[in-house]
Amino acid sequence: MIENKGLAQVTAEESYGKPSHLFGLWMAVNVEFATITTGAIATGVFGLSLLDAVLGILSANVIGCLLLGLFSTYGVDYGLPMMITCERWFGRSGNRVLSSLTFLSGFSWFAINTVIGAYFVQHVLGFNLAASITGLTLVQVLIAIIGHDFIIKAEKTFFWFLSAVFAVLTIMTLAHISRLPAADPVKLAMVGGRSGAFLLTVSVMLSWLGGWILFSGDYSRYMRYQTNRAAVKRGVFWNACIGCFVSSTWLEVLGAILGGTIALKTPADLFSPWLPGWFRVPLIIAIVVGTISPNVLNIYSAGLSALASGVRMKQWQAALLTGGIGLLIALITYRNFYQDYELLLFFLGYVIFPRFPVMAIAHVRPRVSRLSHIDVTTAGFLAWLSGLLCSVPFWNQPPVFVGWFAADFPRFGDISFFVGAAVAALVYLGTTAPGPAAVPAADACRT
């Protein structure tokens, strides 16, 4: 019952599943309170009006979900975990560094979601917060250890249940909200005004999707059909893209509505006191399931990233390691949740987004180095590093660090993701040139 594929390539004979399964998977992982919590930052922390928050959410989700759809097709082409696929573009040594960062991203997201779920369990059932975190961790690790097939089947079930409960919650919220969030001048002034708050919102929502984008190929790699691969890739692209867009936009907008109408200190503040008693039982079940749903992906993909970084252990052991580290992080950080959450969202985005141009450009057409003293994979890694370093002046994370540009021009919010990606693309295009025509992916990938 336990998957032992590890980092090995999935052969065409081993392929199974339908692209439509990805719609339910990406819906299920975003229909949860963590998504609502993310949307609440736009109005409850940054002070945007609802209209501006919705525009920021839509802008980020269009960009992010198109990338997720694109990188989901890599699983069909290469049949490998995403972090092993990246070795062909960043080199073995460079990819180990990046895989380590992805491992950090995975167990960090696991900790975030677990803390959010635990806050609601404590709020409704009165359990000790640390005990709630520990109990949720055990369930999530067990599902991730069993592996890919069980995750796909579980998410299919989660999708229907979570969609139904959160649809009822949405209707109740809209029926009881007497006013829609208006702009908060005090909060806006703290983040560079309306433009600064808007750009910060776009960056936060992109960071929310960034981790999923890096993991996306892990859940399509078993769809390597021998025939009609182009049709399979189209199905994978649209099901992943639309499933993620609908769910993340829906719940983030709901969060923006709630975040601007309450005093937001902990995730449990989003649990409105006017909810009827009969709905609390299905809602708490949905909160627990909604915590488990994304976290099994975080554990599973973070475990694969740990293996890709050079850690020598079995796949199930890597999943157990991820859950253990995530548990420790959750127990340490839950007291200052929103401050730590915002900082983590941005930090993960800083190191993730400069990778995407290299991954996209090199996938479309193999590249060769223009420089005699470095190979093309080293050029890919240096492009990522250049993007990361050039984005530092644009970092805007008080009180930890504010770059000189962000300090002098707060109205630009935090545009580090865009600067990092643009610089990485320019460096990569400048140091490499189009190579020979691509070798069929099935022949090119290592086994």
Whether 342 shows a pLDDT value over 50: the answer reads yes
Which pLDDT score, from 0 to 100, does residue 441 have?
Answer: 47
Which pLDDT score, from 0 to 100, does residue 367 have?
Answer: 92
* Domain locations in the chain as residue ranges: 13-352, 353-435
Whether 432 shows a pLDDT value over 60: the answer reads yes
Which pLDDT score, from 0 to 100, does residue 443 have?
Answer: 42
**Residue 38: pLDDT band with limits 50, 70, 90:** confident
Residue 373 to residues 86, 370, 379, 431, Cα–Cα distance (Å): 22, 9, 10, 11
**Residue 15: pLDDT band with limits 50, 70, 90:** confident
**Per the CATH hierarchy, to which homologous superfamily does domain 13-352 belong?**
Hydantoin permease (1.10.4160.10)
Give the least confident one: 16-25, 114-123, 296-305: 114-123
**Residue 333: pLDDT band with limits 50, 70, 90:** low
Which pLDDT score, from 0 to 100, does residue 180 have?
Answer: 82
Which pLDDT score, from 0 to 100, does residue 369 have?
Answer: 93
Which pLDDT score, from 0 to 100, does residue 337 have?
Answer: 57
Alpha helices in 5-91 (DSSP H): 20-30, 33-44, 50-78, 82-85, 87-90
Whether 446 shows a pLDDT value over 90: the answer reads no
Mean predicted confidence (pLDDT) in 1-12: 75
8-state DSSP, 425: H
**Residue 313: pLDDT band with limits 50, 70, 90:** confident
**Residue 303: pLDDT band with limits 50, 70, 90:** confident
Which pLDDT score, from 0 to 100, does residue 139 have?
Answer: 78
Residue that wins the pLDDT comparison between 362 and 302:
362
The strand pairing partners of 397, in sequence order, are 401
Which pLDDT score, from 0 to 100, does residue 327 have?
Answer: 78
In terms of Cα–Cα distance, which of 429, 7, 427 is closest to 217?
Answer: 7
Question: 228 in the Ramachandran plot: left (φ > 0), alpha (ψ -120 to 50) or beta?
Answer: left
Whether 288 shows a pLDDT value over 90: the answer reads no
Share of the chain above pLDDT 70, in %: 89
Mean predicted confidence (pLDDT) in 215-222: 90
Which pLDDT score, from 0 to 100, does residue 444 have?
Answer: 43
| Inter-residue contact 339 to 399 (CB < 8 Å) | no
3-class DSSP string for 308-362: HCCCCCCHHHHHHHHHHHHHHHHHHHHHHHHHHHHHHHHHHHHHHCCHHHHHHHH
Mean predicted confidence (pLDDT) in 26-54: 89
Report the mean per-residue pLDDT for the chain: 84
Whether 251 shows a pLDDT value over 80: the answer reads yes
Which pLDDT score, from 0 to 100, does residue 345 have?
Answer: 65
Whether 78 shows a pLDDT value over 50: the answer reads yes
* 4's tokens: 């032992």
Place of tokens 């989901």: 72
DSSP codes joined into one string, 221-252: TT---SS-HHHHHHHHHHHHHHHHHHHHHHHH
Which pLDDT score, from 0 to 100, does residue 343 have?
Answer: 67
Whether 445 shows a pLDDT value over 50: the answer reads no
